Structure 1
Amino acid sequence: MTELFSKPSAHRYSDVLIHLSEWLEMICMQALLTLALWPLKLMYKRPRPEESWPAWQANQKLCRVDKRYC
């Protein structure tokens, strides 16, 4: 009789652990991808060699205000 009641709770416990491990895996993978791709994001968000930083920053502000300047 006790065996009948212990099986469903053990099953629920394993379901919770599987769900928790999937969630943790998703969070870890997202963090690792963010860390791996962060240098590329910095590399491509910089001015061209012939453009100065102040001009580039002004262009970025214009782009945020009006997409025609992108």
Structure 2
Amino acid sequence: MNKTKKKRKAFVQQPDCVACSCCVKVCPLGAIRVIAGIMAQVDMAKCVGCGKCAKECPASVIEIREVGT
């Protein structure tokens, strides 16, 4: 029986993001940046899905989802 842990990644509901940068400040891997002062964007290659950004987001627009294998 092969039990592979699914990877988790952060996803920003971009139209609702207020670009406050709270997520940027708490991300331990620098996987989030605010683009043009408008919205946050996650670098999927760096994100490990720890959830710190989602907990810190005052607008509650970041969610952690399981992705692939």
Q: In which range does the TM-score fall when normalised by the shorter chain?
A: under 0.3
- Structure with higher RCO (Cα < 8 A, 6+ apart): 2
The structure whose Rg is larger is 1
The structure in which a higher percent of residues are helix is 1
- Report the TM-score when normalising by structure 1: 0.22
The structure in which a higher percent of residues are strand is 2
- Report the TM-score when normalising by structure 2: 0.22
